[in-house]
Amino acid sequence: MAIIRVPRQHSVNKVAQQILDALRTQGEPCYVLHMYHVSIDEGIQPRCHVCYDSIYKGSDSTLNCSNCYGTAFEGGIKGVYRVFGIFTDNTNEEKRSKKGEWTPDDRSVQLPYLPDLMTHDYVVRVETWVENDSPDILGGYYRMGTVKELSLRDGSRYGKTTQDRISSSAPISLLPANHIIRSWVPENALEFEYDDSTILPSLANENLAHPLEDIEVIQ
C-alpha cells in the first residue's frame, strides 16, 4: 500500500503570502525592471530599430543605445514594477586586477515570488520617497545575477514549478554611473498587484480541504 500525499496548494500559497507580508513589513520599496531576453522574447518582440543589425544578428554594444538599453529589443524594458525587497549590506570586499584595486558594491536581494525576473534584469533602489508615494531621491541601479527561486514542495507532484514558488533572491552588483539603464527614471510605476489573476495559481478557486481529505490512499 502506498500513501500518496495530494499537493496542498493552499499551504504553498500561505507561505508565499507570509513572505510577501514580511517583505512589506521589513523590506524597502524598490523598482524592478524586467527586460526583454533573447531566450523568451525572440520572434515575439521586434528588434531595436536603432542598433540591431539583422545581418550580424546582434547590436553594437558600443552604441550605448537608449532605445533598447542594450537588449537589442525595441523598448528594452518589458515591465516595471514596484516591489518590496530586503537588501543585504555591501561586503566591501576588495578586488584586484591588472588595472588596480577596487571595491565593487556587491549585495544580494530577497524579493517576492513574483514578478518573474531573471539574470540581467535590474533593481533600482530609492533613498527617499515623497508623501504621495513617488520616489524623491533614487539610490543605486543594480544588475541582477542568477535569480534563485525558493520553492516549497508539498505533496507528491513534480517539484520546482511556478506553482510552488514562494520567494526569489539574487546577487546584485552596482552599475557604474555611465551605464545606459541609469537614463531610466521611474515615473508612475505602481506596486506590483498581487491579486488572484496574477499569482498563486488556484488560490482563487481552491477549497480548503479537510486535512484528512488531503491524503489519498492507493492500494
Distance of alpha carbon 160 from alpha carbon 153, whole angstroms: 7
Residue 35 binds Zn ion, judged by CB under 5 A: no
Q: Please count the residues of this chain forming the interface with Zn ion, following the rule CB under 5 A.
A: 6
DSSP string covering 157-188: S--SSGGGEEEEEEEEEEPPTT-GGGG---SS
Residue 48 binds Zn ion, judged by CB under 5 A: yes
The cell numbers describing 53, all together, are: 543589425
Residue 168 binds Zn ion, judged by CB under 5 A: no
Q: Are the CB atoms for 170 and 148 separated by under 8 Å?
A: yes
Residue 170 binds Zn ion, judged by CB under 5 A: no
CB of 76 to Zn ion, least distance (A): 7
**What is the H or E stretch that residue 22 is in?**
helix 9-26
CB of 52 to Zn ion, least distance (A): 6
Which of positions 14-33 make contact with Zn ion (CB under 5 A)? none
Residue 180 binds Zn ion, judged by CB under 5 A: no
Distance of alpha carbon 54 from alpha carbon 35, whole angstroms: 20
Distance of alpha carbon 29 from alpha carbon 190, whole angstroms: 11
Q: x/- site string to Zn ion, residues 77 to 116, per CB under 5 A? A: ----------------------------------------
Q: Which of 12, 23, 32, 65 binds Zn ion (CB under 5 A)?
A: 65
Nearer to Zn ion, 48 or 123 (CB): 48
Cβ neighbours, 10 Å, residue 91: 12
CB of 71 to Zn ion, least distance (A): 7
Q: Which of 19, 33, 51, 123 binds Zn ion (CB under 5 A)?
A: 51
Q: Which of 50, 77, 138, 180 binds Zn ion (CB under 5 A)?
A: 50
Residue 9 binds Zn ion, judged by CB under 5 A: no
Distance of alpha carbon 34 from alpha carbon 68, whole angstroms: 12
Count of positions (residues) in the chain: 219
Distance of alpha carbon 66 from alpha carbon 171, whole angstroms: 25
Task: Tell me which residues touch Zn ion (CB under 5 A).
Answer: 48, 50-51, 65, 67-68
